[in-house]
């Protein structure tokens, strides 16, 4: 993540780092415009964090990693906030346990907004005073990309919270229903083979887990031309997919039976509707299936006589697609395929068959920030592509994320691959 980024305004002129900072911070608050204070507090499961916790945690990042060490005049808003809003940086001190974040009725939403305003004012002072300090610039850019990741988490978390409410409220009441479209024919396209390079290439921001760029061997394979749709997944359900133990990994078979899974997370029991960020909607059979676990994606692939792609297969194919211009052009909320645009990725995160592991020669960032990615490279599966609620700044072929194989609350979907040409 050593590269700087130059953001552009709508008129094509370059945006200063201060303007970029203010833009991203304001975007986070805009996602909460239709929420009331009570919405900000609820934690519906251990993986979900309350909205106000996200608002405070991303602010703590700037507070703790930048202001305290680089602005001499800075006075912390509340020294106890480090304990409440540190996420997993153990080298920075102890923290409130994650599953109990929803028990924090205090500090209030108002106090957290005041905390954000206090930090924003101090950050503007720092950026003005240290305009040519490249070390601070790199830390700020990391903090902004970190906040963009939490913008996505904020949306997926509040969606889960609202899904637990019998009133089925919308995250944003003005969200329109995408126009009905028919998916392109699903075909398998021959992928590149031989020695190829993957990993971040520079020229913009990237996280440390996208590095170093390295060579890898690709065997002959083919990869699905598009994502699997709700309609195709419904065929898997009706074909007994959830009752056929031979399709499932042992852990997956245990999970679906212990938890009673028989459909994607937000589908209704009769498979006619789906809970969305816009509330309850008729199930769109042509939209990409979403909110399925790795276990479900793997079982579907086996049922379809295929498998999930490897990271390297996927990235090479995505890079070729990006070179053709088939990248995400929309903003939050609406997958571009639903708008009738052709693209390879950006609708839902796509499960890979690759475990989340370090690239050869990977080195985490020095100090506490080395805890950002490296320590999670165990027992999780990689996902690629980004989703309809991922910041468009992050949609790139080398972008990697990771989840435990039973995770479903993120926008997680399926692309198939096969061995051989």
343-368: average pLDDT: 91
CA dist 408 and 366 (Å) reads: 32
Q: Is residue 392 part of a domain?
A: yes
Q: Is the pLDDT of residue 351 over 80?
A: yes
Q: Is residue 318 part of a domain?
A: yes
pLDDT per residue as tens digits for the range 141-174: 999 999 999 999 999 999 999 999 999 999 988 8
pLDDT per residue as tens digits for the range 98-131: 999 999 999 999 999 999 999 999 999 999 999 9
286 plus 361 within the same structural domain: yes
pLDDT for 176: 74
* DSSP H or E run through 195: strand 194-198
User: Where does the pLDDT of residue 369 fall: very low under 50, low under 70, confident under 90, or very high at 90 and above?
Assistant: confident
User: Where does the pLDDT of residue 365 fall: very low under 50, low under 70, confident under 90, or very high at 90 and above?
Assistant: confident
**Could you tell me the CA-to-CA distances from 407 to 43, 197, 350, 379 in Å, in that order?**
16, 29, 13, 12
Q: Is the pLDDT of residue 330 over 60?
A: no
355 plus 400 within the same structural domain: yes
Q: Is residue 174 part of a domain?
A: no
Q: Is the pLDDT of residue 253 over 80?
A: yes
Q: What CATH number corresponds to the domain at position 388?
A: 3.90.1580.10
**Nearest alpha-carbon partner for 162 in 326, 35, 352:** 35
Q: Is the pLDDT of residue 3 over 50?
A: no
118 plus 81 within the same structural domain: yes
Contact 227, 413 (CB under 8 A): yes
153 plus 229 within the same structural domain: no
- Averaged confidence pLDDT in the chain: 91
Q: Is residue 282 part of a domain?
A: yes
154 plus 206 within the same structural domain: no
CA dist 267 and 278 (Å) reads: 14
pLDDT for 373: 77
pLDDT per residue as tens digits for the range 278-290: 999 999 999 999 9
pLDDT per residue as tens digits for the range 232-244: 999 999 999 999 9
Q: Is residue 238 part of a domain?
A: yes
Residue 72 exposed, middle or buried by CB count within 10 Å (0-12, 13-18, 19+): exposed
Contact 420, 221 (CB under 8 A): yes
Cβ neighbours around 376 below 10 Å, total = 15
Q: Is the pLDDT of residue 11 over 80?
A: no
193 plus 135 within the same structural domain: no
Q: Is the pLDDT of residue 315 over 80?
A: yes
Domain boundary among 114, 147, 163: 163
Q: Is the pLDDT of residue 248 over 50?
A: yes
pTM to 2 decimal places: 0.93
pLDDT per residue as tens digits for the range 174-196: 887 777 778 889 999 999 999 99
Beta bridge partners of residue 350, listed in sequence order: 384, 413
**Segment among 36-50, 54-68, 254-268, 357-371 with least mean pLDDT:** 357-371
274 plus 365 within the same structural domain: yes
Domain boundary among 163, 179, 196: 163
pLDDT for 290: 97
* DSSP H or E run through 257: helix 250-259
Q: Is residue 197 part of a domain?
A: yes
pLDDT for 313: 98
pLDDT for 177: 77
Q: Is residue 170 part of a domain?
A: no
Domain boundary among 118, 146, 163: 163
334 plus 411 within the same structural domain: yes
User: Where does the pLDDT of residue 342 fall: very low under 50, low under 70, confident under 90, or very high at 90 and above?
Assistant: very low
216 plus 324 within the same structural domain: yes
Range of the domain at 252: 188-419
Q: Which residue has the higher pLDDT, 88 or 58?
A: 58
Beta bridge partners of residue 217, listed in sequence order: 195
**Could you tell me the CA-to-CA distances from 328 to 144, 320, 338 in Å, in that order?**
20, 14, 12
Q: What CATH number corresponds to the domain at position 29?
A: 1.20.120
pLDDT for 6: 52
**Nearest alpha-carbon partner for 412 in 364, 371, 377, 380:** 380
- Provide the domain count of the chain: 2
pLDDT for 323: 80
144 plus 239 within the same structural domain: no
User: Where does the pLDDT of residue 78 fall: very low under 50, low under 70, confident under 90, or very high at 90 and above?
Assistant: very high
254 plus 376 within the same structural domain: yes
336 plus 269 within the same structural domain: yes
136-144: average pLDDT: 96
How many C-alpha atoms does 299 have within 13 Å on its Cβ side?
Answer: 33
Q: Is residue 272 part of a domain?
A: yes
């Amino acid at each position: 993540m050593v590269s700087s980024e130059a953001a552009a305004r709508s008129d094509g002129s370059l945006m200063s780092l201060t303007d970029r900072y203010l833009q991203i911070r304001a975007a986070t608050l805009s996602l909460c415009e239709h929420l009331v204070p009570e919405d900000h507090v609820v934690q519906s499961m251990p993986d979900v964090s309350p909205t106000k916790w996200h608002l405070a945690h991303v602010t703590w990042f700037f507070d703790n990693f930048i202001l305290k060490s680089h602005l001499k005049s800075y006075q912390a808003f509340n020294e106890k906030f480090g304990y409440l809003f540190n996420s997993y940086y153990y080298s920075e001190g102890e923290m409130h346990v994650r599953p109990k974040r929803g028990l924090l009725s205090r500090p209030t939403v108002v106090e957290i907004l005041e905390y954000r305003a206090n930090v924003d004012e101090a950050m503007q002072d720092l950026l003005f005073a240290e305009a040519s300090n490249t070390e601070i610039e790199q830390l700020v850019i990391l903090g902004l990309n970190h906040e963009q990741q939490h913008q996505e988490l904020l949306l997926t978390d509040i969606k889960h919270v609202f899904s637990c409410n019998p009133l089925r409220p919308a995250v944003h009441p003005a969200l329109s229903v995408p126009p009905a479209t028919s998916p392109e024919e699903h075909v398998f396209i021959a992928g590149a083979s031989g020695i190829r390079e993957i990993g971040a290439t520079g020229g913009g921001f990237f996280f440390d887990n996208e590095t170093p760029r390295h060579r890898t061997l690709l065997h002959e394979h083919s990869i699905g031309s598009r994502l699997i749709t709700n309609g195709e997944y419904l065929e898997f359900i009706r074909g007994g997919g959830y009752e056929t133990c031979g399709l499932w990994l042992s852990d997956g078979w245990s999970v679906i039976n212990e938890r009673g899974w028989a459909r994607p997370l937000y589908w209704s029991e009769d498979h006619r509707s789906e809970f969305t960020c816009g509330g309850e909607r008729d199930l769109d059979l042509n939209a990409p299936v979403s909110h399925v676990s790795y276990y479900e994606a793997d079982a579907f692939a086996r049922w379809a006589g295929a498998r999930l792609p490897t990271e390297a297969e996927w990235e090479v194919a995505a890079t070729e697609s990006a070179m053709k211009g088939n990248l995400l052009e929309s903003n939050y909320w609406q997958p571009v395929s639903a708008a009738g645009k052709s693209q390879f990725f950006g609708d839902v995160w796509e499960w890979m068959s690759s475990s989340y592991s370090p690239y050869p020669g990977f080195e985490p960032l020095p100090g506490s920030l080395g805890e950002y990615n490296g320590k999670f490279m165990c027992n999780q599966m990689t996902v690629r592509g980004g989703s309809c609620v991922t910041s468009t700044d992050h949609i790139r072929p080398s972008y990697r994320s990771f989840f435990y194989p039973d995770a479903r609350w993120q926008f997680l979907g399926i692309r198939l691959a096969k061995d051989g040409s």
